[in-house]
A and B are shown apart, each in its own frame.
Chain A
Amino acid sequence: MRITITSVLVHDQAAAERFYTEVLGFVKKHDVPMGGDARWLTVVSPDNPDGTELLLEPDAHPAAKPWKDALVGDGIPYTQFAVDDVKAEFDRLRALGVHFTQEPTDMGAFTTAVLDDTCGNLIQIIQMH
């Protein structure tokens, strides 16, 4: 068994596509109409185009919003991405207007920061030492 796709629940797929590609720097892999406005929309890392895909999945289910709001309220990230240098990513993303709920923090074996993906989620970036 392998993990080929994981997902984040986004309230606007077009906005999510812009944020995850233009701001975070992922590249679009699949974009398939799914009926109505919904798309099967996935992105991958440019460093690993055949690696795990991130599905930008509509959050239309009524349980999604209270769940996401509760996580965000306590600062809990929905998922985590690895970076080589958290501080450098923090500086780059903040210059692009990205809001962080946790600035780069040295936790010993790793450094993390937590950003707002503008689609209703917090995302943690992590650098292992």
Chain B
Amino acid sequence: MGDVDDDDVFKALADPTRRKILDELADRDGQTLFEICARLSSKHQLGSSRQAISQHLEVLAAAGLVHSRRDGRYKFHHLDTGPLTHLTDRWRHRDTKET
């Protein structure tokens, strides 16, 4: 994920709704947009519109945290924790520089 800017990852994580989306994808990876919306509204009382959730997914995708996959007629969204790996290393291990 070298092409993803750390700024994009921090910005993506700054939003509580986007963090909930990641929580739910961590609960079960590979969900349709409908399932993500249903989980947010019924489990977290987050009444965001489908368009709003779709836009949140685009931000998460730009940060490399979510990958969308077409499987025949369906589209599934998957969690990718790869961009998180080096996020805080520069403070914990001082020889790692900001990229």
Contacts and interface: CB of A to CB of B under 8 A. Distances in A.
A108 B43 contact: yes
Interface of A: 69, 72-77, 101-103, 105, 107-110, 112, 114
B86 interface: no
12 contacts: A69-B73, A74-B33, A75-B35, A75-B75, A76-B33, A76-B34, A101-B35, A102-B32, A102-B34, A102-B35, A107-B38, A114-B32
Interface of B: 28, 31-35, 38-39, 42-43, 50, 73-76
A73 B76 CA distance: 9
B23 to A, nearest CB: 14
B17 to A, nearest CB: 17
A110 B42 contact: yes
Given A107-B43, A109-B42, A110-B42, A73 B74 contact: yes
Nearest to A107: B42
Given A102-B32, A103-B28, A108-B43, A72 B38 contact: no
